[in-house]
Chain A
Amino acid sequence: DQQVKQNSPSLSVQEGRISILNCDYTNSMFDYFLWYKKYPAEGPTFLISISSIKDKNEDGRFTVFLNKSAKHLSLHIVPSQPGDSAVYFCAASDGSSNTGKLIFGQGTTLQVKP
């Protein structure tokens, strides 16, 4: 039972263009969503988050959008840079379980071509 799904295993974009990574969830109890980035041989690093009371959160080149009615969130990276090439995981928390427990998607490998 995959409660958080990233249906695109990979994405390739040109440097300078927008990268859009998508994530769907099924559990309506999720109230906090996060994106993590992972480089090979490193642990995931936190990128950006959004609470369910918001529909958008920005941090520099990164923006996360949340559509609660569709149970869908997306991460926009503008402009994309070669250093953004990594695996991106979306994750969700239902808050009540305290946030050491996150439900992760399977990840999307982003390749940004120079």
Chain B
Amino acid sequence: KAGVTQTPRYLIKTRGQQVTLSCSPISGHRSVSWYQQTPGQGLQFLFEYFSETQRNKGNFPGRFSGRQFSNSRSEMNVSTLELGDSALYLCASSFRNTGELFFGEGSRLTVL
């Protein structure tokens, strides 16, 4: 069974630009969550999608947005990038409501 796939794995952007990250969940998983990991901050919850609907959102500014498609694949977008957006963005999918999230390897974003 293929795991959670995130693309791209690495990317470099400059301030003011926007970025779109993609996530393909494990087959059969309908919930997709996104997390931001920065040094010293652990993993911070961005948002969760289930059946194309956002059902939870973390405390991030509106520059951070996402969506989920009918095949459960998800994208997140960050507009007007700031230096502080440099981070590892992790996508996770789940099947049952047990909190057992399956994470992808992440997309490492560097903002210059």
Contacts and interface: CB of A to CB of B under 8 A. Distances in A.
A73 interface: no
A98 B103 CA distance: 17
Nearest to B55: A98
Interface in B16-75: 31-33, 35, 40-45, 48-50, 55-56, 58
Contacts of B45: 101-104
Interface SS of chain B: helix, strand, loop or mixed?
Answer: strand
Contacts of B48: 98, 100-101
A43 B33 contact: no
A29 to B, nearest CB: 14
A44 B90 contact: yes
Interface residues of B, number: 30
Contacts of B42: 4, 6, 89, 104-107
B57 to A, nearest CB: 9
User: Which of A6, A43, A99, A105 counts the most B-chain CB atoms under 10 A from its CB?
Assistant: A43
A78 B29 CA distance: 33
A21 B72 CA distance: 35
A45 interface: yes
Interface string A74-114: 00000000000000010101000111111111110000000
Contacts of B100: 34, 46, 49
A70 interface: no
A91 B106 CA distance: 18
B97 A99 contact: yes
B104 A106 contact: no
A7 to B, nearest CB: 12
B39 to A, nearest CB: 10
Interface of A: 4, 6, 32, 34, 36, 41-46, 49, 89, 91, 93, 97-107
